[in-house]
Amino acid sequence: MNLNFFIILIFINLSIYSQDSLNKIYAVVGKKSITEIDFEKGEDRYKKLFKTAKSPYKGSYKTQVLDFLISRAVIEITADEETITVNEKRVEAEIDKIMENSGHSDRATFEKYISDRAGIPFDVWVAELPYQIMKNQLMQVRVPVKPPSEEEIQKWYANNKTKMGFEFKFREIAIVPRTGSIDEETRVLNEIKAIHKEIKKDKNAFTLISSGPRNNSNLRSGFMDWTPVSEIYKSNKFIANYLMQIEPGTTSDVFRDEKNRYCLIKSEGKRSTPIENIRRYIQQILQGEKVEESFDEWVRERRKELSIYIFDKEYLAENKVEAPDESFNFNKIKEK
């Protein structure tokens, strides 16, 4: 019999039902025990990890913390079975790789970057890193993850398309002053105002003028086909802002943009970003959600396969779990 396991079993018999124990046992997962000291440390980490993030664990606070620690033990045990070793050297190598990939060379600034991004102290992030490494490797060898279905992709798009931005197609008329003189500025302003009046009288005039010689637009015939508003904003903030304000089929007022052009724009269409343009993005989001869901489900199923004995009376009562037979440890020892 494994000596360490033998010692754990003896310790359980001596301390598990003693309220005066210096370090009583809360649970035993396989050959790993979760003691009162483990619980206190785990509780501190749990508070920091899920201070702002949503916890996947349910029930009372004590149940959540204990399930959190049991899940960690399940991960460690399975990682051992798969000979996945995560020591201090490997953790440091992972930190160095993350530093390099994030473009940081200074450790202090990197630590601040991680803390700000993760929303937890850096030391907590480092303490969780071994579990993330084990989790990533177990995902490859133990946890099957199905790709999102077309139905799931369509449903996500239907629920989120208004958040994904818009695309526009539009025409522009731009007149550029030849010089910076007041007279030239006045001439151009009067010309664009005259064009505006002409367009108000004849709806077809915008298309004719935008494709004619008076238009100084860089766009072919002054026309831009369906383009994300974010891309339009990068090249011309004024046009993007006006397109968000006017309805399709209508024309803007005269405005001067950041390129010192006097402009008119006509919106010819507005639509939510098509699903095909963001399909890969949606797949990545859903795949990420499926990874977490699949892993949580795998942990729940793995718990059923392992020998887990819980001795905390509050947990047992809340979760309607039978208390382990007080003699089981001693009998196990005798059988060996």
| Half-sphere exposure at residue 142, Cβ-oriented, CA atoms within 13 angstroms | 22
Q: Provide the token pair at 17.
A: 């039902």
pTM of the model: 0.57
Where residue 101 falls (left for φ over 0; alpha for ψ -120 to 50; beta otherwise) is alpha
pLDDT at 270 over 70: yes
pLDDT exceeds cutoff 80 at 14: no
Task: Report the amino acid identity of residue 208.
Answer: L
- Identify the band that residue 333 occupies on the pLDDT scale cut at 50, 70 and 90: very low
Domains 1-82+279-336 and 165-272 fall in the same CATH topology: no
pLDDT at 8: 45
| pLDDT value of position 336 | 35
Percent of the chain with pLDDT over 90: 62
DSSP-assigned beta bridge partners for residue 182: none
Domain locations along the chain:
1-82+279-336, 84-141, 165-272
Look at residue 163 and tell me whether its pLDDT is greater than 90.
no
* d(C-alpha 253, C-alpha 275), whole Å: 32
Position 325 pLDDT exceeds 50: yes
* Residue 304 CB partners (closer than 8 Å, separation 6+): none
Q: Tokens 């004590």 map to which residue? A: 62
Query: Which comes out higher in pLDDT, residue 336 or 66?
Result: 66
SS3 label, residue 319: coil
pLDDT tens per residue across span 15-64 = 444 444 557 899 999 999 999 999 999 999 999 999 888 888 999 999 99
Whose structure tokens read 């601040």? Answer: 112
CA atoms of 7 and 14, how far apart (whole Å): 11
Looking at every residue in the chain, the average pLDDT score rounds to 86
Helix (H, G, I), strand (E, B) or coil at 28: strand
Residue 240's pLDDT is 92
Q: What is the pLDDT of residue 204?
A: 87
Residue of 99 and 162 predicted with greater confidence: 99
Q: Residue 209: what pLDDT?
A: 93
Query: Which CATH number among 3.10.50.40, 3.40.50.1980, 3.40.50.620, 3.30.450.20 corresponds to the domain 165-272?
Result: 3.10.50.40
Q: Count CB neighbours of 78 within 10 A.
A: 21
| The two three-digit tokens of residue 326, written as one number | 């007080």
- Interval 273-297: pLDDT, tens: 899 888 988 998 898 888 888 898 8
Q: What's the CATH code, domain 1-82+279-336?
A: 1.10.4030.10
The crossing angle, in degrees rounded to 10, of helices 275-305 and 61-81 is: 90
